[in-house]
Amino acid sequence: MPIYEYVCNDCDNMFEILTTSSKVAEKVQCSKCKSEKVTKIMSAGSFRLNSGTSLPSTPSGPSLGCAGKSGFS
């Protein structure tokens, strides 16, 4: 079941709703003030990279490489 995140336009409350696909079209109310003036927000779980995008496999920053000082002589 997907989790949708919302922010209330009246009280700025951020909340999540665990729902089934068939209930997505139902009206959503703020969990704090019960207002129906809510906006669905993009969550980290709903963000996907394009299939052609690749991320570096190592952290960015200075690289010591083979000639760097690693503590071994």
For residue 35, the model assigns a pLDDT of 96
Identify whether 18 is part of a domain.
yes
The Cα–Cα gap between 61 and 10 comes to: 43
At 18-57, the pLDDT tens digits run 877 676 667 899 999 999 999 999 766 655 556 655 555 5
Token pair 């980290």 is found at: 44
pLDDT at 67 over 90: no
Identify whether 54 is part of a domain.
no
Identify whether 60 is part of a domain.
no
Identify whether 73 is part of a domain.
no
Cβ 45 vs Cβ 5: under 8 Å: no
7: domain range?
Answer: 1-25
In the chain, the N- to C-terminal Cα span, in Å, equals 55
- The pLDDT-based confidence of 4 (bands split at 50, 70, 90) is confident
Q: How many domains would you assign to the chain?
A: 1
The Cα–Cα gap between 45 and 24 comes to: 17
Identify whether 61 is part of a domain.
no
